[in-house]
Amino acid sequence: MNSITNEQCNIILRNYLRHERYKIINYNVGNTSEDSLGFLSVSSTLDIKFLIYNEIKEVRFFIKFLPNTDYQLNLVKTANCFKKESAFFGELFSGIREFLSYKSIPDCYLKDNETVLVFEDLKLSGYKTCSAYDIDLKHIYAAIKSLADIHAASLLYEHKIGKTFDQIFPEEILRPWFCEINDYPGYKETLAAAKIISLIIDKYFKNYTENVINKAIFLCKKYCYFLQNKSKKYRNVITHLDLWCNNMMFKYDENGDVENGMIIDFQTYGYNPPALDLLILIYCNLERNKREVNMPKFLDFYYKCLNDNIKNHSNNPDDIMIKKEEFMASVDESLPIALASGALFIHSSIVPENELIPVISDIEKLKKYWEDDRSIVLEFMEKYENYRNRVLQTVEDLLEGVMEEEEKLKNS
């Protein structure tokens, strides 16, 4: 049973109010609903009623509990998901938060705990997620701004302490979900995704050469290898690596325009060049026609945000900033991995909700889908035109990217 103790409520309220001049009257953990049953956690709400300065007040928080099923619980513990997020909002976040220029990450009020995490309820501040089919340029720019803020804070904190994160944190904390270790959850997921990509190529893309197809599938199968290893050539930062639509929340003004974006869910982060995170964000969320024409603007905007944030917090920004030519070189090197990420994960992240819930709520179906057989994706593609078009687009992007690399090699 998912529950919160009175002692934990005191810690939460103390961190929220930043003093102890209150008295808890009562508290209540909300009932979880089917749509709150995520893959790596179960979410709920916590309402605390308290007396402060002779006035009764109530505040609501967002809670993440460990999954209820043995299968999902084993995955979370194997990949240290709660331990990683606890470390992020504990030691890691306490170090980098002084260097954040914007509200890029939610506040966490119960951390350093491997069974439950408690955050501010962003919905109360007007934040909400955006459907993968509705993400437009304004959403992407808001997300890029927040991502650059987090990356800049990572660089600034390393500079302040004179050490890199991999020198101060154990390997298991920086090891990403997507890690090429047998029986590791992210590795199983990636191989299952690569298998369905192969089936999609067989059915829809017979016009590509065998060499291009084989290299595309190889990129998908080796995706974990590329993410688990920090770069020896480029600067590394704390990278989110799971930047699909549900891991971003947006606040809108009275006209419905995007006012701010926030990055959430830090259970799967790694330590990689910032360009990789940026490209994963773009390729896993934006349609090709919106992406291709705006890519130079995205890169320039990210680079400006990154360096503006560094300048805001440093007397010697030249010691910290990444040179533009280095950044662009890392973009080129990260592109094939980002193309693979789009192909590997779009087919899951944009599944129509009415089709997704029956899979998530049945543990045998979930295990089969996550680790082995995703042939049901082909059925979804036949059934939903918009879904089919987005999935085919990401696979075609990957194949075209591999083909362009082949041409470059021939002409070099």
Encoded tokens for 151: 């990356």
As a whole number, mean pLDDT of residues 167-193 equals 94
pLDDT at 193 over 90: yes
pLDDT at 33 over 80: no
112-126, 186-200, 220-234: range with lowest mean pLDDT:
112-126
Angstrom distances, CA of residue 51 to CA of 7, 16, 22, 24, 385: 16, 14, 6, 6, 55
Q: What is the layout of strands, in order, in the sheet containing 127-128?
A: 127-128, 248-252, 258-263
Percent of the chain whose pLDDT exceeds 70: 97
The predicted structure's pLDDT at residue 35: 45
> Please, which pLDDT band fits residue 54 given cuts at 50, 70 and 90?
very high
The predicted structure's pLDDT at residue 406: 82
172-176, 216-220, 248-252, 300-304: range with lowest mean pLDDT:
172-176
As a whole number, mean pLDDT of residues 33-52 equals 80
The predicted structure's pLDDT at residue 114: 79
Longest C-alpha distance within the chain, in Å?
77
Distance CA 65, CA 116 (A): 5
302: buried, middle or exposed (CB in 10 Å: 19+, 13-18, 0-12)? buried
Encoded tokens for 239: 């990278």
Residues 6+ apart with CB under 8 A from 255: none
Q: For residue 323, give the DSSP letter.
A: P
Provide the angle, in degrees to the nearest 10, between the axes of the packed helices 324-349 and 185-204: 80
The predicted structure's pLDDT at residue 407: 84
Distance CA 133, CA 387 (A): 9
Closest CA to 242 of 288, 190, 292: 190
The three-state secondary structure class of 57 is strand
The predicted structure's pLDDT at residue 91: 80
pLDDT at 32 over 80: no
Closest CA to 145 of 300, 272, 257: 300
* Beta-sheet strands, E only, within 121-170: 127-128
pLDDT at 360 over 90: no
1-10, 25-34, 338-347, 368-377: range with lowest mean pLDDT:
25-34
Report phi then psi at 30, rounded to 5.
-70, 155
Angstrom distances, CA of residue 85 to CA of 74, 90, 177, 211, 334: 16, 8, 12, 40, 25
As a whole number, mean pLDDT of residues 134-158 equals 96
Angstrom distances, CA of residue 147 to CA of 14, 50, 111, 388: 29, 35, 22, 29
Residues 6+ apart with CB under 8 A from 98: none
The predicted structure's pLDDT at residue 136: 94
The predicted structure's pLDDT at residue 411: 78
**pLDDT, tens digit, for every residue of 383-393?**
999 999 999 99
DSSP 244-264: SGGGEEEEE-TTS-EEEEEE-
**pLDDT, tens digit, for every residue of 12-21?**
999 999 999 9
> Please, which pLDDT band fits residue 78 given cuts at 50, 70 and 90?
very high
The predicted structure's pLDDT at residue 329: 97
Q: Which has more confidence, 316 or 336?
A: 336
Average pLDDT score, the chain: 93
**pLDDT, tens digit, for every residue of 279-326?**
999 999 999 999 989 999 999 999 999 999 999 998 888 899 999 999
pLDDT at 52 over 90: yes
> Please, which pLDDT band fits residue 34 given cuts at 50, 70 and 90?
very low
**pLDDT, tens digit, for every residue of 81-103?**
999 999 999 887 788 989 999 99
pTM: 0.94
For 226, half-sphere exposure in the C-beta direction (CA atoms, 13 angstrom radius) is 21
Structural contact between residues 331 and 275, judged by C-beta atoms closer than 8 angstroms: yes
